[in-house]
Structure 1
Amino acid sequence: MKRNTFRLTTLASALFVAGLSSAHAGGFQLLEQNASGIANAYAGSAAVADNASTIFFNPAGMTQLSGAKEVSLGLAVVKPSFKFANQGSLAAVPPLTPVAVPLTGSNGADAGDWAAIPNGYYAQRINDRLSVGVGFGAPFGLKTEYTDDWVGRFQSTLFDIKTMNVNPSVAYRVNDKVSVGAGVSIQKMEATYDRYAATLTTPINLSGTKLRLKADDVSFGWNVGVLFQPTAATRVGLSYRSKVKHTLTGTLTASGGAAAVLSNPAIGAAGVNAKVDVDLPDTFIVSFTHQLNPRWEVLADLSWTGWSSLDVLPIYRTSGVQAGTTADLLEAHFRDTWRVALGANYHYNNAWTFKFGIAHDESPVKNADTRLVSLPDNNRIWLSLGAQWRPDRATRVDFGLAHLFINDTRISHNQTSSDPTKNKGWVIGEYTGNIWLAGVQYSRSF
């Protein structure tokens, strides 16, 4: 089973080789599991069910698809920006040193960069009540990358998370008003974390030594959904996705500076196997759509994400003379979050529908003291618009564009330590950021 699972996720990765590593919802959740929802800021995501991507947001929606078979393929292209301004970052403070020692270096340039997020879905009706389908997507992702000379290099220079999710699903129409659905997630997660070694002189001179954790895992989760249609004009969708518990295993290596010393088997601080447990959060969505009249439709979404599953993440060495000891700590201290979205569609004619959306998205980061340089996240507002084009009865092409306004973000993350080998400094400053997001989705029924 392990071998078959690996082959399946490897095939999915080969199909979707574009970058999957920019966070666009709060935390590092990727809402872009279709591009057709971008224009509505993903309002109504668990109730819309107008293409096969409903497999991700609410599998019960497969019973509402118009054709006996449906395929949907999409691509979102994203440009995040996170620019840091140093405001007195410190390498050490009393009593570690007689006086505060400033951290030197640049502001790290823009930590965000272009990314592409693909998705693909196939659904098939078995009979009037039963439908099945499968989806491919990337529900979580993050990449922040700074120049090697920036002031926060001892906390992070690169943090890169990728996921690939394979989601076989089934849906059943109970009656004309109620449908239910469920699915299984086969999820691969990859993580790369780079930082420079300690800021102070130690018995081993660590100057210029970069540490890298590279690890991955394949694990499993599940999702369920229900779709209510109390009237011909109204739909209500509820969906839940479970946590996915990953144990990432890989290697902790060093390069430059004292790499040869740290990789010495007698020291065993680097060049060893390592692991870290990561519980990706569960999510719950309540969605609503209502056809006001032949022209206008309104949509709404309320979603919750259980980010508190990510608190303090110890990275353990699992080989060498220091096996079982903690190599590093990722102190996230996340909180659970809410997201609210509202949208509207205007049906201009049989070929064109124009879409609009707005959303408020909470960040799981509690405050400046717990904000990580690897995730300079804050609350954000979505403003979205787009259109759907129907060249014929079986084909839909959706276009979406969104701008995400991110609050100016203070950081005061103190990771100074009395152990000079673990001193990562105290990063103090402010981030300015925003995200541009565009996408296209092609859907066809047969």
Structure 2
Amino acid sequence: MKMQHSLKTLSALILGLGTMGIAHGAGFQLLEQNASGLGSAYAGSAAIADDASTVYYNPAGMTMLPGMNVSAGVVAIKPSFKFSNGGTTGPTYFGDNFLGPFGGQPTGGPDGGDAGTWAAVPNAYFTWQVNQRIWLGLGVGAPFGLMTDYEEGWAGRYHSEKFSIESININPSIAFKATDTLSFGLGVNWMQLDADYRKAQYAFLDSAAGMNGDLEARVKAKGDAWGWNAGLLWQATPDTRFGLSYRSKVKIDADGTTRVSNRTLNATAAGVLTSAGVIGTHDAETSVELPDTAIFSVVHQLNDRWTLLGDVSWTGWSSIPELKIQNSGIPDAKLDLRFKDAWRVALGAHYRYSDAWTFKGGVAWDQSPVRDDAFRPASLPDNDRYWVSLGAQYRFNKNTKVDIGYAHLFVKSTSVNNTSDPQHAGVLKGDYKSSADLIGVQFSHQF
């Protein structure tokens, strides 16, 4: 019967939601692991070693910090994603032999409002000089995160309605000063990832009987894993320093649930789906291999006032070509993402106005791993962006300082024509107007 046939295919379609909640492009990697580098667009991050946050960017930099050092701060991030519908359509079919209710026709609904929302990225670091050769350090931060939140019932609701991801990374480290000019550092990382994703799912059982409408599908998953990072620091001349650092891939096996609930179906249809085992909570598990990163930095002391900084970094996003999810009681699913490795280039400068005040500025180009409109997800519609940053540092005395920084990210005009799953989610088609503002503050002290 048509209804029984639809139930079999519907259980498979719901699974499409679980794959995009774990990864959504460069936007969920957070470079903002301190506020002291924000004002110069994080140029020179692996070579500056100006405070204890070097534990994250290059552990070898700890050898530049005598005694004990602490640093703590927060960066607040407000992305903006405003969608303009350009012909978004609903799912094309719900079975092997018949068209669904939309048949690829427009879904209706608003454009979703501004899907960006404020997020805070906290961090804290500690370093300790054990002797003339060895340093120990500890860092705590959130290297992946952010959220998109659309209006319920928007045109692209079958792709995404709300997405959030949170992480915590604990990073003990050790550094060794091999010579007066060359240092090495090594760290281990324990990372936990927590994802929450929600979307609408259209259920078509019998249009003549009015047994069609939206379900709400939600995936919550959590997992943790270990990784490592390493770096070297070379003081090539009294005025020029180079840094090279690497952070490994982290493969996280996440466990959680897929919960399907009724939104607009009538009682009879909801009862059918409940008895069929579709509406309800299902165990879910998935794996994601978070990318490795490499940074090459240079810092040059031009004179007593000016310091110049440069940075080239690479992120191995191709570690996520696709995502799969396994569920109990309903079929498995796969999403084709086709992420590409990405580059970032940053230039910055510090100007020491006085013993107390230093002013900072920087620019950067940040490449997205999403290169094809057909695979750009609504959960975070990423694209290349340009940074313009300003900041200042105030020293209360030789041991205590505060940094503040601000950056605006200009995001390249973003079109989307997501055809990766037209049968199950429809086609998301339109344009995004995007940008982001970041503001941070950090306190650092040397004992």
Name structure 2 gaps, 5 residues minimum: 1-20
| Structure 1 residues 22-421: aligned runs within 5 Å | 26-66=26-66, 68-92=67-91, 96=99, 100-198=104-202, 205=211, 207-257=213-263, 261-264=272-275, 266-267=276-277, 270-317=280-327, 319-320=328-329, 322=330, 325-326=331-332, 328-415=333-420, 417-418=422-423
Quick one: which amino acid aligns to residue 135 of structure 2?
S
Quick one: which amino acid aligns to residue 133 of structure 1?
G
The CA deviation at 1:158 is 1.2
Give the Cα–Cα distance (whole angstroms) in 2 for the partners of residues 377 and 222 of structure 1. 27
Give the Cα–Cα distance (whole angstroms) in 1 for the partners of residues 69 and 175 of structure 2. 14
Q: Deviations over 1:334-392 (max 9, x none)?
A: 10000000000111111111100000000010111110001201000000011111110
Give the Cα–Cα distance (whole angstroms) in 1 for the partners of residues 36 and 125 of structure 2. 13
Q: Is the 8 A contact 2:25 2:369 kept in 1?
A: no
Q: CA RMSD in A?
A: 2.2
Distance 1:395 1:124, change over 3 A: same
Q: Is the 8 A contact 1:276 1:314 kept in 2?
A: yes
Q: Is the 8 A contact 2:148 2:380 kept in 1?
A: yes
Q: Which has the higher helix share?
A: 2
Distance 1:208 1:72, change over 3 A: same
Give the Cα–Cα distance (whole angstroms) in 1 for the partners of residues 24 and 122 of structure 2. 14
Secondary structure of the residue aligned to 1:62 is helix
Q: Deviations over 1:220-264 (max 9, x none)?
A: 100000000011111100000001001110001012246665454
Quick one: which amino acid aligns to residue 207 of structure 1?
G
Q: Is the 8 A contact 1:56 1:135 kept in 2?
A: yes
Give the Cα–Cα distance (whole angstroms) in 2 for the partners of residues 62 and 262 of structure 1. 59
Quote the residue 1:435 is aligned against: 436
Percent identity of paired positions between Structure 1 and Structure 2: 47
Distance 1:38 1:213, change over 3 A: same
Quick one: which amino acid aligns to residue 435 of structure 1?
A
Quick one: which amino acid aligns to residue 438 of structure 1?
I
TM-score, normalised relative to structure 1: 0.88
Q: Deviations over 1:195-241 (max 9, x none)?
A: 11137556994622100110001111000000000111111000000
Secondary structure of the residue aligned to 1:209 is strand
Q: Is the 8 A contact 1:28 1:141 kept in 2?
A: yes
Quote the residue 1:10 is aligned against: none
Quote the residue 1:17 is aligned against: none
Give the Cα–Cα distance (whole angstroms) in 1 for the partners of residues 340 and 99 of structure 2. 31
Give the Cα–Cα distance (whole angstroms) in 1 for the partners of residues 28 and 193 of structure 2. 13
Q: Is the 8 A contact 1:25 1:361 kept in 2?
A: no
Q: Deviations over 1:265-302 (max 9, x none)?
A: x5357411001111110000000000011111100000
Report runs of 4+ in structure 1 exceeding 6 Å deviation: none
Secondary structure of the residue aligned to 1:254 is strand
Give the Cα–Cα distance (whole angstroms) in 1 for the partners of residues 150 and 254 of structure 2. 24
Name structure 1 gaps, 5 residues minimum: 1-20
Give the Cα–Cα distance (whole angstroms) in 2 for the partners of residues 24 and 43 of structure 1. 25
Aligned residues: 414
Give the Cα–Cα distance (whole angstroms) in 2 for the partners of residues 55 and 292 of structure 1. 26
Q: Is the 8 A contact 2:374 2:420 kept in 1?
A: no
Quick one: which amino acid aligns to residue 337 of structure 1?
A
The CA deviation at 1:169 is 0.4
Quick one: which amino acid aligns to residue 400 of structure 1?
G
Secondary structure of the residue aligned to 1:198 is strand
Quick one: which amino acid aligns to residue 319 of structure 2?
S
Q: Is the 8 A contact 1:211 1:254 kept in 2?
A: yes
Give the Cα–Cα distance (whole angstroms) in 2 for the partners of residues 38 and 331 of structure 1. 34
Give the Cα–Cα distance (whole angstroms) in 1 for the partners of residues 386 and 203 of structure 2. 37
Give the Cα–Cα distance (whole angstroms) in 2 for the partners of residues 75 and 371 of structure 1. 29
TM-score, normalised relative to structure 2: 0.88
Distance 1:417 1:360, change over 3 A: closer
Secondary structure of the residue aligned to 1:60 is helix
Give the Cα–Cα distance (whole angstroms) in 2 for the partners of residues 269 and 314 of structure 1. 21
